Structure 1
């Protein structure tokens, strides 16, 4: 089994940090974000990795090379322009011929990936999506009304919860047939197309083991967390 890591995004929400470094190479503790991902994949017994690269790709290729230093085998799939998540995945098609894991390169994961893979196979899924139980508080008073407009309740700053996509999938190689070549294409479009074609799409829900690095605020928070961990060693 191979893991495909999407590491070609521009990281525009993280500028100026990403002006000279691709987002997956931003430091967390003593190593870049992408190395944390590769370590996690290896701990889950997957040692064949495809890195989908584009923006400032030489920085990634020069650092990781063939992966032997980290105990893995790394191949590279190259895009010459931004292709969004699924479009970037499409560049790895020639390197995949079996069930595989697809991971966004802008998060840190620490959950049981092997359990997710086993569930995918047991359910004979076409795609399995990892979802995170996310809770947030609405900062306003939420007013409930009837169909006629009569106010029935006032809920002040209620907490709501939802399962959110965190960018880790187990997929069958036939998924590439849903992705057009060499055009920007989102993973949400792939999932919607799979559902429309009655493909088996299942979820794997986690409560923890996920850190998003989507913008400057979340990166600063994660960076501080990893610094504090180093201080405790």
Structure 2
């Protein structure tokens, strides 16, 4: 895509996904077999954008160690580390020195979306906008800030979360900025796009355009959404050029899955895992080296790297940290989280909170 480059903001600590994010930044967590960021980068490449700047902070070195210069993905990747938290607009301004095109597409690094990226750029250029925002229609907009637009799609306001939202359109975390708008953001301090930058542009009479659609969209910030997003990628419900062959499950190299085990619901079995006879994985994510014993059930749950789920244990909507041990016949339900290295006893103890 001529005259467009991308910025991906990946500096967050991912606190809502702990304990998984204690060892890796959220965009680097395995999702349908690869770090989540791989899916976003594959879509950016597919849209014809090749120069991408990653705005990093938490565990910044992990990104460059994995992706390097980006050539493996057909991209040119650069990295800028945010030394102190700068909020969204501040993080965008922080990478300005690396930018070189007139239009800059900015992505939040934890959003899974099916929007047509070239369509957003087309909208931006057609309306000669200063900033174009991807807006998505959601069933329940109360949990989000709403963005009303006029008949031409021009943004009217940025509204805080409210019980009676006047529109079902929300900010979907993807923007196209004119380069000069980024340069005008104050440098070296925290700046919010929704509370400072965008309202300031509206006051100044600048053109903020909405690109509204109802394609697939999911914020992967919470465990239940992370599990759903991974399953949707495996099954092909969410688009990604990084998933070669969508199906009901995905098993990576080196894993041993017993013929008597059941895998379904978009489950992913990481590399070098073991899944024993009679085990059931339904919408499950096993990180590399995880072991699931005979007759164990793992539903809509995440099992960390090297963790052990012993025979007959039941996990439903649970998160198990790296190297933890879930004793035989234990039950983890309703959002239970087990911290890395914790060993839970056998004999059918039920946990529904942190352990």
What TM bracket, shorter-length normalisation? 0.7 to 0.9
Tell me, yes or no, if the aligned pair for 1:10 and 1:82 is still in contact at 8 Å: no
Find the counterpart in structure 1 of residue 335 from structure 2: none
Superposition deviation, residue 220 in structure 1 = 2.2
Superposition deviation, residue 227 in structure 1 = 4.4
Whether 1:31 and 2:10 are equivalent positions in the alignment is no
Tell me, yes or no, if the aligned pair for 1:130 and 1:166 is still in contact at 8 Å: yes
Find the counterpart in structure 1 of residue 207 from structure 2: 200
Which segments of structure 1 move beyond 4 Å, counting only runs of 4 or more? Answer: 227-230
Q: Counting helix residues as a fraction of each chain, which structure ranks higher?
A: 1
Find the counterpart in structure 1 of residue 172 from structure 2: 166
Among candidates 106, 109, 115, match of residue 119 of structure 2: 115
Deviates more, 1:96-105 or 1:120-129: 96-105
Q: How high is the TM-score relative to the length of structure 1?
A: 0.85
Find the counterpart in structure 2 of residue 55 from structure 1: 58
Whether 1:126 and 2:121 are equivalent positions in the alignment is no
Distance of 2:43 and 2:86 partners within structure 1: 26
Distance of 1:87 and 1:137 partners within structure 2: 26
Q: What per-residue deviation string (whole Å, max 9, x for no partner) do you get for residues 42-80 of structure 1?
A: 111111111111110111110011000001110111111
Relative contact order higher in (CA < 8 Å, ≥ 6 apart): 1
Listed as ranges, the matches of 1:62-141 within 5 Å are 62-97=65-100, 98-136=102-140
Find the counterpart in structure 2 of residue 12 from structure 1: 15
Distance of 1:227 and 1:161 partners within structure 2: 32
Q: Counting strand residues as a fraction of each chain, which structure ranks higher?
A: 1
Cα distance change of structure 1 residues 137 and 52 upon mapping to structure 2, 3 Å threshold: closer
Superposition deviation, residue 40 in structure 1 = 0.5
Superposition deviation, residue 179 in structure 1 = 2.1
Distance of 2:123 and 2:210 partners within structure 1: 9
Question: Highest CA radius of gyration, 1 or 2?
Answer: 2
Among candidates 14, 22, 26, match of residue 25 of structure 2: 22
Aligned residue pairs: how many?
214
Cα distance change of structure 1 residues 18 and 137 upon mapping to structure 2, 3 Å threshold: closer
The DSSP-based 3-state class of the residue aligned with 1:135 is coil
Tell me, yes or no, if the aligned pair for 1:4 and 1:52 is still in contact at 8 Å: yes
Tell me, yes or no, if the aligned pair for 2:10 and 2:54 is still in contact at 8 Å: yes
RMSD: 2.1
Find the counterpart in structure 1 of residue 189 from structure 2: 183
Distance of 1:107 and 1:35 partners within structure 2: 12
Among candidates 40, 46, 49, match of residue 49 of structure 2: 46
Find the counterpart in structure 2 of residue 143 from structure 1: none
Tell me, yes or no, if the aligned pair for 2:13 and 2:58 is still in contact at 8 Å: yes
Deviates more, 1:14-23 or 1:58-67: 14-23
5+ residue gaps, structure 1, are 139-157
